Amino acid sequence: MNAEKNNPALYPYAIQGYLNANFAVLSGMIASNMFMERFDEVRSNILKYKKQMLQKKTAIQYANRDKAKMLILWLSPKLFIRMTRK
């Protein structure tokens, strides 16, 4: 992420965009039931930013829905898959 080098104020928004894109990929994978062998790889890419999303000083910038999805994906991937299919 080069946004932090150019403008540190934009970094959380760059992360948010990256996370939204990865959540969209996961949803598509689950809905089509294709490429599920790559689920763990995409999940680990998302979980790299778990600490930043859930820290008190930066948590305000993220929606509660996104925080809940992150927690569920972290704690129970099977529940995340069930939630996404419905």
Give the mean pLDDT of 44-69.
82
Which range is least confidently modeled, 1-5, 14-18, 36-40?
1-5
The answer to whether 84 and 30 have CB atoms below 8 angstroms apart is yes
pLDDT value of position 1: 54
CA 65 from chain centre, in angstroms, equals 11
Q: pLDDT band at 12, cuts 50/70/90?
A: confident
More confident call, 61 vs 16:
16
Q: Is the pLDDT of residue 3 over 70?
A: no
Q: What gap in Å lies between CA 44 and CA 2, rounded to an integer?
A: 20
End-to-end CA distance of the chain: 33
